[in-house]
Amino acid sequence: MRDEIIKKTKELLPKEPSLNDYDKTYQSFEWKQAYKELDWFEDNKINAAYNAVDRNAQGDRKNKVALYWESDDGQKLKYTFLDLMELSNKFANVLKNLGVERGDRVFFFLPRVPELYYGFLGTLKTGAIAGTLFAAFGEQALFDRLQNSAAKILVTNKELKERVDKIKGDLPKLEKILLVDAARGDRGALSLPREMSGASEEFKVAHMDADESAFMLYTSGTTGKPKGIIHQHLAILHQHMSAKWALDIKEDDIYWCTADPGWVTGIAYGILGTWSLGAATLVYEGRFSPAKWYELLQEYDVTVWYTAPTAIRILMAAGDELPRKYDLHQLRHLCSVGEPLNPEGVKWGKKIFGIPFHDTWWQTETGGILIANYPIMDIKPGSMGKPLPGIIAGIVDDNGKELPPMREGNIAIRPGWPGMMQKIWRRQQKYESCFINNWYISGDRGYKDKDGYFWFIGRADDVIKTAGERVGPFEVESALVEHPSVVEAGVIGKPDPIRGEIIKAFVILKDGVKGSDKLVEDIQKYIKKHLAGHAYPREIEFVNSLPKTRSGKIVRRFLKAKEMGLPIGDTSTLVE
Ligand code: PRX
């Protein structure tokens, strides 16, 4: 069904899209032309947080709601742009009082609470680098990230701090912990509310060079510990333009990005690019449930919705009757990111909401959307769409030579767009290895069809995508071998109809230990606690040996082929 097309007729375009002629804009656009979309200080410097919030708070959007927040237990709060400016200023003053300086790393280990949003902005205002940590992380994942980044400040809550307490003795660079939910300081931590209450609402925002570091996110590759991807202040230009063109955000939109700021989507399109356009954003702290999500869409009159394929598949599985109980007519644009969106998902959007889902493709490293389906453009369901204006995308071979249409190769991007990672924290060589022949090599494989649409095939490496979340097999394997019963482990992503992939581990047990269902559960619990709630193997198989190269590297490709009943390929380099 690859030749199927959803034509963008008038009824599929409830509003005139901001990008109303893709080909013309693509051919003429250069990033420099868009510099005027940002507010620059007189000295030609910028600050991403100033652009996201302050310029709105100082103009006509001052009293406009920027954030609708709903807690897990139903508490509802609203914040205007002015509120966000003042709160982020106060937070910036708190950091300054604690001695935070330009370039220091300030990390957030929090669920989706308001403090995370204004704290992130406040950090950028000081010139420090803001980092986020997904609240499902366990001790080992936290330790690796806080140690590698040499974070100076950590903002968390009382519950999550218990995990931090177990590791903080080994983090000599971590000077202060701020608790968002403590009225007073507690066991080596400060109360954020208390510090905020004494802080001024005025703050002189740091003037940053466009290429100075703004925020960092750890992401998993196929080997080694996670890498700290650093983005520059100018990334907001890419996020702003792509939020305008791909997400079609307008200032009167009520926009819901379901991603957590622990991941890049929650930052680029949950804080920076979308507030920069002056839209109101909904944040729901609670967990996913189909009925609750429909209720939120209805109650907040959400107009633009950015979510992920796993969520879409779960909603589909919950049945078509459920959404019909809600009034969702105000939804006018639907987008998806994070993993392949099946054609059925695209079309289901049209059936239920009257408009299809629009797939967008990008990565933590790319800082913003690179390839997308735009409201104005016909959709070929299953395709990721076409490159954003300003982005040159190609399919290249392993030497960086561009391949003709319909040939499978590496999805690659010409370097130099504003959201491109600026560096990998303390891993210059690793950074350089991402570029070949003046192309950024994404690690994804795909092809381009004759009409210029890009199609995703899979990862070129062993990185796992489970429910849209990126998990490095090495991190899981390292955590598994810490378990007292485990000697060795090999981890793969196993295709799953709902989650895209699930994590499957092949485990060699210590001599004398017998595999059992109870042990499986025990190992799973161990990984959830030590590594992360989302990164545990849903399947564990006990084996006597693992396929390895002569140098002792586990060959996951072999495990995967065997699991899926596919040809195993060349085994000449294996010893077992
Ligand atoms: O493999 C691709 C997959 O997610 C990877 C990037 O993951 P992460 O850095 O966590 O960023 C996710 C949010 C931007 C990519 O290398 N991926 C992302 N979007 C798509 C996708 N795979 C297929 N189709 C997509 N639309």
Residue 573 pLDDT class (50, 70, 90 cuts): low
Q: Give mean pLDDT, residues 435-446.
A: 98
Mean pLDDT computed over 501-519: 97
> What are the strands of the beta sheet with 76-80, ordered from one edge?
76-80, 65-70, 280-284, 254-257, 304-307, 333-336, 357-361, 371-372, 386-387
Closest CA to 62 of 53, 71, 49, 52: 53
For 8-60, the pLDDT digits (tens) are: 998 899 899 999 999 999 999 999 999 999 999 999 999 999 999 999 999 99
Nearest to 126 by CA among 179, 160, 88: 88
For the chain, the straight-line distance linking the first and the last C-alpha, in angstroms and rounded, comes to 41
Nearest CA to ligand 1 atom 5: 363
**β-sheet bridge partners, residue 132:** 108
Give the model's pLDDT for residue 223: 79
Name the pairing type of β-strands 539-542 and 500-509: parallel
The answer, yes or no, to whether any atom of ligand 1 lies below 6 A from the CB of 275, is no
Alpha helices in 181-327 (DSSP H): 192-197, 235-245, 264-267, 273-276, 290-299, 309-317, 321-324
The pLDDT of residue 550 is 85
**The residue to which tokens 């560096």 are assigned:** 423
Rounded to the nearest angstrom, the distance between the alpha carbon of 373 and the centre of ligand 1 is: 15
Cβ of residue 219 lying under 6 Å from some atom of ligand 1 = yes
Phi (first) and psi of residue 415, to 5 degrees: -65, 160
The residue whose CA is least distant from atom 21 of ligand 1 is: 339
The partner residues of 394 in beta bridges, in order of sequence, read 412
Gap between the Cα atoms of 485 and 516, Å rounded = 12
Confirm if 70 and 286 have CB atoms less than 8 A apart: yes
Confidence tier at 217 by pLDDT (50, 70, 90): very high
Contact 310, 293 (CB under 8 A): no
Rg (CA), the chain: 23
Q: What is the pLDDT of residue 374?
A: 98
Helix (H) or strand (E) holding 525: helix 517-530
How far is Cα of residue 301 from the mean position of the Cα atoms in its chain?
A: 25
Question: Does residue 80's CB lie within 6 angstroms of at least one atom of ligand 1?
Answer: no
Please tell me the predicted confidence (pLDDT) of residue 2. 61
Ligand 1: distance of its center to the CA of 338 in Å?
4
Give 228-287 pLDDT, tens digit per residue: 999 999 999 999 999 999 999 999 999 999 999 999 999 999 999 999 999 999 999 999
pLDDT at 576: 57
Q: Which of 230, 359, 470 to mutate to test the pocket of ligand 1 (most atoms within 8 A of CB)?
A: 470
In the structure, what pLDDT confidence band is assigned to residue 553 with cuts at 50, 70 and 90?
A: confident
User: Average pLDDT for residues 100-120, to the nearest whole number?
Assistant: 98
The pTM of the full predicted model, rounded to 2 decimals, is: 0.96
162: tokens are 């218990």
Give percent above pLDDT 70 in the chain. Answer: 98
Q: Is the CB of 265 under 6 A from ligand 1?
A: yes
> Is ligand 1 within 6 A of the CB of residue 364?
yes
The arithmetic mean of pLDDT across residues 147-153, rounded, is 98
3-class state of residue 145 by DSSP: helix
**Got the DSSP string for 198-226?**
TS-S---PPPB-TTSEEEEEEE--SSSSP
- The pLDDT confidence band at residue 523, using thresholds 50, 70 and 90, is very high
CA of 377 to the centre of ligand 1 (A): 21
The answer to whether 320 and 349 are in contact (CB under 8 A) is no
Q: How distant, in Å, are the alpha carbons of 3, 102, 107, 113, 346 from that of 126?
A: 51, 6, 14, 21, 42
At residue 39's C-alpha, the angle toward residues 33 and 42, to 5°, is: 105
Domain ranges of the chain: 10-445, 464-564
- Pairing mode, strands 304-307 and 333-336: parallel
pLDDT in tens, 293-308: 999 999 999 999 999 9
Residue 395 CA to residue 401 CA, distance in Å, equals 8
CATH number corresponding to 464-564: 3.30.300.30
470 lines ligand 1 (CB under 6 A): yes
Estimate the crossing angle of helix 473-481 against helix 139-149, to 10 degrees.
120
Task: Check residue 514 and give its pLDDT.
Answer: 96
pLDDT at 575: 66
**Ligand 1 mean position, distance from CA 12 (Å):** 26
* Nearest alpha carbon, ligand 1 atom 12: 338
Residue closest via CA to ligand 1's atom 22 equals 339
**Alpha-carbon span 535 to 491, nearest angstrom:** 11
Determine the average pLDDT of the residues in 156-185. 96
- Ligand 1 in contact with 465 (CB < 6 A)? yes
Q: Do you know the residue count of the chain? A: 576
Question: What integer is the mean pLDDT of 404-414?
Answer: 98
Distances (CA, A) of 213 to 217, 224, 237, 279: 12, 24, 14, 25
C-beta neighbour count of 93 within 10 angstroms: 21
- Kindly state if the Cβ of 353 falls inside 6 Å of ligand 1: no
Contact 224, 474 (CB under 8 A): yes
Do residues 237 and 35 make contact, with C-beta atoms less than 8 angstroms apart? Answer: yes
pLDDT of residue 178: 98
User: Per 3-state DSSP, what percentage of the chain is helix, strand, and coil (rounded to 5)?
Assistant: 30, 25, 45
Q: Indicate whether residue 264 lines ligand 1 (CB < 6 A).
A: yes
Place of tokens 């971590």: 174
Q: For residue 46, list its beta bridge partners.
A: 208
Is residue 270 within 6 Å of ligand 1 at its C-beta? Answer: no
Q: Helix or strand or coil: residue 160?
A: helix
Is residue 459 lining ligand 1, measured as CB closer than 6 Å? yes
* CATH class given for the domain over 10-445: alpha beta
Question: Taking 90 as the threshold, does the pLDDT of residue 572 lie above it?
Answer: no
Q: Is 373 in the pocket of ligand 1 (CB under 6 A)?
A: no
